[in-house]
Amino acid sequence: MDYNLGDRKNCLIGNWNEEHSLHSYAGHYRTAPTAGMTHVRCIEHSVRYDSSELMSSHNKDFSNPKDPLNPLVYKPQSCIGARERLINAKLAGVQPDLHKDEDRPQRDWATTHKVSYQTPVDDEEFRTTKGGRRMRTQDNVPRDFRDRTFLLEHNILSPHICLEGGDKAAGGPEADRLAELQERDVPITIYSANVGKFEASNYSEGVNPFGKHSGFSQPIEEYIRGGTWKDL
């Protein structure tokens, strides 16, 4: 075609209206058709097309047309015999009933809070109260003179109240301040397909707190992958 000649343009061949429109669409980089070509391929599109309208593919999307176990959908029916069409029809009728009675896999879930993986704030004003006898009431309200670390370690208060309850800048009664803290503590539910594994992780320990993997202390029938030199 004319636009494949580059600078050596002579004349248009065939339907010149179609060649002009195809030239404006594909530019000078349109590939020549081959014998085994299934559809038109354009290496480079016009810059007038928006990026959302363009499509790209990679090796995972490729299906070998010569693979008998994975035939393509555009395989002509004339190449399929009557016996193979009958077998395909029977398989299509049986396939929906194969997984009907199987139960869905159960997922293990647990709820955690962000503050549960944070170190308690130990300011200078609280360091002088460590070891002091301050717990005389049972109101479960963190006063400014109480040791926050002691309250948190002995599960006297929940983590978010223990870390933020001593804020003097927040106005209003004590009950309103605690209710505001409870509303601010939004729980996060984590779903996992590994029942019995660790529930969550933090930034310092990574995704696996104990450094275990699927090949650690498991029976041989549950083996998935082998260990590496980092596991030694």
pLDDT at position 85 is: 82
pTM over 0.75: no
Q: How far apart are CA 150 and CA 162, in angstroms?
A: 10
Q: In this structure, which amino acid lies at residue 58? A: H
Is pLDDT of 171 > 50? no
Q: Which residue has the higher pLDDT, 198 or 149?
A: 149
Mean pLDDT for 53-67 is 59
| pLDDT at residue 86 is higher than 80 | yes
Adjacent-strand bridge partners of 109: 191
What is the per-residue pLDDT for 59? 55
Query: Which residues in 190-214 are b (16+ Cβ under 10 Å) and which e?
Result: eeeeeeeeeebeeeeeeeeeeeeee
Q: Compare 95 and 166 and report the one with higher pLDDT.
A: 95
List all residues 6 or more positions away from 110 whose beta carbon is below 8 Å from its beta carbon: 189, 190, 192, 199, 200
Higher pLDDT, 52 or 128: 52
Nearest partner of 232 among 219, 220, 218, 215, judged by Cα: 215
Residue 121, pLDDT score = 59
- Is 142 buried (19+), middle (13-18) or exposed (0-12) by CB count in 10 A? buried
What pLDDT is attached to residue 91? 82
Nearest CA to 38 out of 74, 78, 70, 68 is that of 74
Could you tell me which residues are beta bridge partners of residue 191?
A: 109
Query: d(Cα 113, Cα 156) in Å, to the nearest integer?
Result: 17
% pLDDT > 90, the chain: 0
Q: What are phi and psi of 124, to 5 degrees?
A: -65, -30
Q: In angstroms, rounded to a whole number, what is the distance separating the alpha carbons of residues 180 and 160?
A: 11
Distance CA 25, CA 41 (A): 12
